[in-house]
Structure 1
Amino acid sequence: MTTTENNLGNSTYEPLEDKDLAFGIPTKKRIFSLKDTAAIFICLSCSAVSLLSIYHQGISLYLGEANQLIIVGFLLSIMAICTNRQIALASLYYEAMHEKPTLQSFDALLRRNYMGSNIKLKVRIILLFLAALPIELSIGYKKFVNGSTISRIGGSNGKFGLIAAPGDQKTGLGFTLISDVYGPFWKSPGFPKTYGYNLLTASNTTSAILDGPFPDYVQHIQSTIATEEWVAITTDVNATVTQSHSLSEEERSDKTFWQNTYTAYLQYRFPKAWNTKDMLDGQNIGLMLSENMFNMSQAFIGIWNTTQNETFESTTERVFTSRRRCRGTWNITSTSITLSSAAILESEETALQRTNQSLIQNNLLEISNLFYLLIGEYNWRSNPRISNLRVNMAPALVNAMIWARVVSMDGPLDNISADPEAVQQEWLDSTSYTKASDEISTEKKRRTLRRHPVLGVVLVVNPFLTVVAIILKVAWYKAPVSDGFNTVAILASLHGKDASILSGAGLSGELQKPIGIGFRTESCKGASELVRVFLHEPGYSTRLSRGQVYG
């Protein structure tokens, strides 16, 4: 048996006489390994696929949000495996080359165990980062849900008109329709804002109720919609618009003005055009509408309190109603339809000159007599939630009254007359009309992850860190460890006498204090150099040479 003295001069080892019992495989230290190439390729590929699944319009629309979440989560998990391994190896290289490493720190990096004892603070921070990174990225990408992907598609001709929402047809005198259209606004008033099927509050003085798509057209679109999809249709339609025209202080105090107004409204007793009601405790409501029995274009609506020296004249709101052109966008899902955006396209003056207004100006609707008590039902002055918002509720309420009554009496689908011919043809032309496909913008939308720049950053973090870690490994390639460094490498290189230092830790794996670890190279028969591990060795380790075989 031969004995070889190491370069420290005071320790020896005895190489095996029988080479058949030595199962270690010597190798050269490679600057860049196939595993490094594979890690970069896998990370970049996974990142590219995840980015395409979100930022490519066609792929995003095809997958939908649920499938995107599954794919991105799976790819992030794969990238995390590559990234964690490369960062841990880069940390091993750094520890072996530039620090005074300890056995516990090496063991922690190999096992990704940040809970062990006697681990360097720097190493523990790295391990905590590796544990937290996949969790943070997993949480991060889920914050970008509820986005949408839009694709313009070819539509078909569609019929629009002055109708109630699908399912609300043939409801009677109009009370239900008023509640349906005005109720959402009453619960959450604001402007500019859309509500339900067809209500737009364009400003604090103007409200519009748009003509909507017919039920059979909506059902045709719904039959083409899959899960997580909806279709947006945009087109120009007619609308019933009510606008407030404020009374000046001079008009409110002008007795002649009011005398003429009352005379005009009171000369027709059937149907009653001016209705008031004492609601107790001094609260009064009043509605004047239909100054010549048929004309519903002008109305006065008021709520006043006699205990506060208020009168109808001092509190009333004057509004005018007309039919105007509007543009609306409806979002249609497989089970619902809502007005998502709208705009009034023309002024009241233009509409009065261009459009036949006889539907409102020459129609016996009995609105005041039927609906005036609804002012008490929707008393915005006695409701602190409403009054504190300073939102003008009157235009939308008068608009809802007129619209609901016209729909129930003269609408193309909803009128209560047994004879459809009872509705004048000149009104049908403006309350029921077909829009050509090229007049309707049709877009299919699907719920997807939002295309936010931060989401892109989340998806490239792993490839970036992987590449940085590999670059650092290349810079530290002379470190006396390789990508295959593990427990076997430590045992194969351990100096015989140093094993006794670890006595007592066979089951617990714990040591009483940090144990330094050093690497030295020694010459040996059968291999150009041997890498040896010495415990309790202070100082820096030997650096390896490129092209040299080590065992």
Structure 2
Amino acid sequence: MHEMQPARLSEKELAWRWHGGWSLEKPELPMALRCSLFKYGGKCNDPEKGASRSIDSAESTHFLHILTGRCEVYPPTILLDFDLMIYSRITSETTKPLGVPTRRWYCEKAHFLALLGCYICFILSILAIQPSIGPAWSLSWKLGLTNQLVVIGLLLSLMNECTSVLAATLFLIVETRRKNPTLQNYEAIIKKSIFLDKMDMRWRTSFLLLTLLPLGLSVAYKRLIGGSSTIEAQTEFPRYYGLVPLPLGTFNVMNNSIYYMINSSVPYIAASFSARSGPKFPEAYGFNTVLLDSTSTAFLDLPSPDFLSSVQQNLTEGGSWSISASVDGTVARYNASTSSYRDDDGFWTTAFNHSANPGGLSTISLYNGFQIGLINGLHSEYPGPYCLLGFFRGDSYGLNIYGSPDEDISRAFRRDAHKFEIQRERCQGRWTVTPSSIQLVDGSCTGERTKQDVFNNSTPYYADVLPILAQWLIRYSPAESQSNSPWLIPSFTTSVASMFWARMIYMNPTNDLYPEMYYPPADETLWSTKLGLKAGWTLYLTLSIHPILCTLILISICVCYKTPIGTGFGLVSVLSSVRKDSLDQLQGAGLSGTLTRTVPMRITIQDSHHGPKIRCCLGDEYEGKAELDIKETYF
């Protein structure tokens, strides 16, 4: 071992600082302490004389060996080469105290900051779920459902930490104010553990509830999915409105009026087929059909297909766009004055002569004793087409054409035909666009006519439309049970509007001939909606649990301001203030940390020459004042 110089004190002192006292004989000193003997006036045990004797300056060349608190004097010749070991923490001056005295306030800064932080997190969580804050900005819309779940989870965790900070202080205050506080309870509160030995069952239950609280809130808010947030959207994507088909991807290769007519009419056909009551007005079906009233149906123009496709491609799961605009519509209206024309030969002669695709009456058999007859013509007095459509008795099969209004078949048709006027009108529509669908939500038309030139080359072709009409309208024929259904005239107007709308799109795939088919947006409003958490009272209550708890806890802490528990209460506080003479009963628990019984621990206040001092006393015999004065500084 390396030779080490003994620790030297002043010329006339030999001392070991031990628990604040100066002594040569201390039974607590470690076995391996060695030191030098200097000039000192004192006493020690002399093994040669078997008695205590004085040490004077003449013996300064001797060495003093301290073994279990006993001083033994040896001749210097024996110990000249003795290897001295010095105790590692012997100092020659008094240790400076490191504790920071402080005063107790009604409300500690740390507690106020915890409450403030909890409320900030609460406000942010409300902003994160609020469906709309302004017409063009919403935090919940920017986040979307996935990020909402992440942000709300993070904010709830932060609020839980704020609650834990305040709850720990309140629990310590409650334990201190109890009649029988124990060391085990204090340790459990500081560690926030429910598994410590010999802790009070009430604290075990309290910490269990405090542990389950964030888990319950986490489950609660995740079950509240199904809400949405909406903002007014802005886009620079070039777009127009007009007579265009729905964007159907690869199905657009089927560019014919038959497919367009079926595709646009299926939603209405399905709704009317399964209906248990009469139609409602106005009512939207599919992507562009509006049942305006019992005698009118409109097929609205659509936004451009490339624009709709772009919107769909950029939508997130559960997201949607709402598009509202002023558009033109193809409207079929039932002419109730048809009965006045039934016996007017001049009217029917004109109708047969001015009909198109084909000329005259075209029919198709329903194979139930009835047929459907169709005449499409153009008005001579004003632009715009009309349609004569109806059931009549007949036994011919397949498709047939009759050129004379005086044939028996023609006269049978004349007795039961209905007249429908078709025109282009100014309308208003609102669509909802999702990743997988385009749905007309509502629509209306003003009756104001727009340009009608597009009808000039768009008369439906009988071979295209009659087979579809036969399948669609057969259940309303006189031979069927629904012949008097309230859906009869609405189905007629819808079928007429659909076949003219489909034919115009098919015959005019570009706007070279009729530019009015395509026009820029008018009165357009775009709204973007994203799926999110359902912002109802249940979610608001879930998010407000922590702020409510923090507020109540802080009020309780402020009311109990006289209790000698500070924000930094912990191991340092206990070691700083514990009475040393009460520590003996804890011997044996250095590694296990476990005691055989509960140990009472009281926190009291003692007066000292420095000022009032906090004392922790282990045992039942200690009692004392345990209320603070906010005017005092405590050590």
Q: TM-score, normalised by structure 1?
A: 0.67
Displacement of 1:326 in angstroms is: 1.4
Contact 1:298 1:321 in 2 (8 A): no
Q: Name the residue aligned to 2:363.
A: 274
Q: Name the residue aligned to 1:200.
A: 290
Measured at CA, do residues 43 and 365 of structure 1 come closer, stay the same or move farther in structure 2, by a change above 3 Å? same
Contact 1:287 1:372 in 2 (8 A): no
Displacement of 1:485 in angstroms is: 2.5
More helix by share: 1
Displacement of 1:443 in angstroms is: 3.0
Measured at CA, do residues 288 and 363 of structure 1 come closer, stay the same or move farther in structure 2, by a change above 3 Å? farther
Q: Name the residue aligned to 1:486.
A: 570
Secondary structure of the residue aligned to 1:345 is strand
Q: Distance in 2 between matches of 1:476 and 1:43?
A: 22
Displacement of 1:39 in angstroms is: 1.8
Contact 1:182 1:397 in 2 (8 A): yes
Q: Does 1:325 align with 2:430?
A: no
Q: Distance in 1 between matches of 2:628 and 2:192?
A: 25
Q: Name the residue aligned to 2:217.
A: 136
- One-letter amino acid matched to 1:162: L
Displacement of 1:359 in angstroms is: 5.9
Secondary structure of the residue aligned to 2:505 is helix
- One-letter amino acid matched to 2:213: A
Secondary structure of the residue aligned to 2:626 is coil
Contact 1:114 1:128 in 2 (8 A): no
Deviates more, 1:393-402 or 1:72-81: 393-402
Q: Distance in 1 between matches of 2:540 and 2:557?
A: 27
Q: Name the residue aligned to 1:401.
A: 499
Q: Name the residue aligned to 1:124.
A: 205
Contact 1:76 1:459 in 2 (8 A): yes
Q: Distance in 2 between matches of 1:119 and 1:62?
A: 48
Q: Distance in 1 between matches of 2:19 and 2:369?
A: 110
Q: Distance in 2 between matches of 1:285 and 1:77?
A: 74
Q: Name the residue aligned to 1:159.
A: 240
Q: Distance in 2 between matches of 1:33 and 1:97?
A: 19
Displacement of 1:238 in angstroms is: 1.6
* Residue segments in structure 2 that go unaligned for 5+ positions in a row: 1-17, 22-93, 273-278, 380-384, 394-412, 477-481
Q: Name the residue aligned to 1:376.
A: 471
Q: Distance in 1 between matches of 2:486 and 2:112?
A: 66
Q: Distance in 2 between matches of 1:97 and 1:302?
A: 98
Q: Name the residue aligned to 1:174.
A: 257
1:234-260 residue CA offsets vs partner (Å, 9 max, x unmatched): 322221234678999xx9xx9x97999
- One-letter amino acid matched to 2:443: A
Displacement of 1:210 in angstroms is: 0.8
Q: Distance in 2 between matches of 1:509 and 1:247?
A: 102
Q: Distance in 1 between matches of 2:549 and 2:125?
A: 17
Q: Distance in 1 between matches of 2:387 and 2:621?
A: 99
Measured at CA, do residues 489 and 225 of structure 1 come closer, stay the same or move farther in structure 2, by a change above 3 Å? same
Q: Distance in 2 between matches of 1:27 and 1:517?
A: 22
Deviates more, 1:106-115 or 1:160-169: 106-115
Displacement of 1:119 in angstroms is: 3.8
Q: Does 1:17 align with 2:10?
A: no
* Residue segments in structure 1 that go unaligned for 5+ positions in a row: 1-14, 304-311, 414-419
Q: Distance in 2 between matches of 1:391 and 1:89?
A: 73
Contact 1:239 1:326 in 2 (8 A): yes
Q: Does 1:366 align with 2:461?
A: yes
Aligned-residue CA RMSD in angstroms?
5.5
Measured at CA, do residues 448 and 20 of structure 1 come closer, stay the same or move farther in structure 2, by a change above 3 Å? farther
Aligned-pair identity (%): 19
Measured at CA, do residues 317 and 67 of structure 1 come closer, stay the same or move farther in structure 2, by a change above 3 Å? farther
1:293-343 residue CA offsets vs partner (Å, 9 max, x unmatched): 99553433799xxxxxxxx99x9999765433211234567x777244332
Q: Distance in 2 between matches of 1:526 and 1:490?
A: 19
Contact 1:518 1:541 in 2 (8 A): no
- One-letter amino acid matched to 1:237: V
Measured at CA, do residues 115 and 368 of structure 1 come closer, stay the same or move farther in structure 2, by a change above 3 Å? farther
Give the number of equivalent residue pairs: 494
Q: Does 1:38 align with 2:113?
A: yes
Secondary structure of the residue aligned to 2:115 is helix
Q: Distance in 1 between matches of 2:335 and 2:552?
A: 68
1:257-285 residue CA offsets vs partner (Å, 9 max, x unmatched): 7999xx8999988675332323xxxx688
> Superposed, which structure 2 residues align to 1:278-427 within 5 Å?
278=367, 287-290=372-375, 296-300=386-390, 321-331=422-432, 338-346=438-446, 350=447, 354-355=449-450, 364-367=459-462, 370-373=465-468, 375-376=470-471, 394=491, 395-408=493-506, 410-413=507-510
Displacement of 1:479 in angstroms is: 1.7
Displacement of 1:183 in angstroms is: 3.0
Measured at CA, do residues 125 and 186 of structure 1 come closer, stay the same or move farther in structure 2, by a change above 3 Å? farther
Contact 2:599 2:618 in 1 (8 A): no
Measured at CA, do residues 290 and 355 of structure 1 come closer, stay the same or move farther in structure 2, by a change above 3 Å? farther
Q: Name the residue aligned to 1:474.
A: 558
Secondary structure of the residue aligned to 1:546 is coil
Q: Which of these residues, 531, 534, 546, is aligned with residue 615 of structure 2?
A: 531
- One-letter amino acid matched to 2:166: Q
Contact 1:266 1:274 in 2 (8 A): no
Secondary structure of the residue aligned to 2:366 is strand
Q: Which of these residues, 148, 164, 168, is aligned with residue 88 of structure 1?
A: 168
Displacement of 1:164 in angstroms is: 0.8
Measured at CA, do residues 511 and 111 of structure 1 come closer, stay the same or move farther in structure 2, by a change above 3 Å? farther
1:1-41 residue CA offsets vs partner (Å, 9 max, x unmatched): xxxxxxxxxxxxxx943674987665443333231243234
Contact 2:292 2:298 in 1 (8 A): yes
Q: Distance in 1 between matches of 2:294 and 2:589?
A: 83
Q: Distance in 2 between matches of 1:537 and 1:317?
A: 109
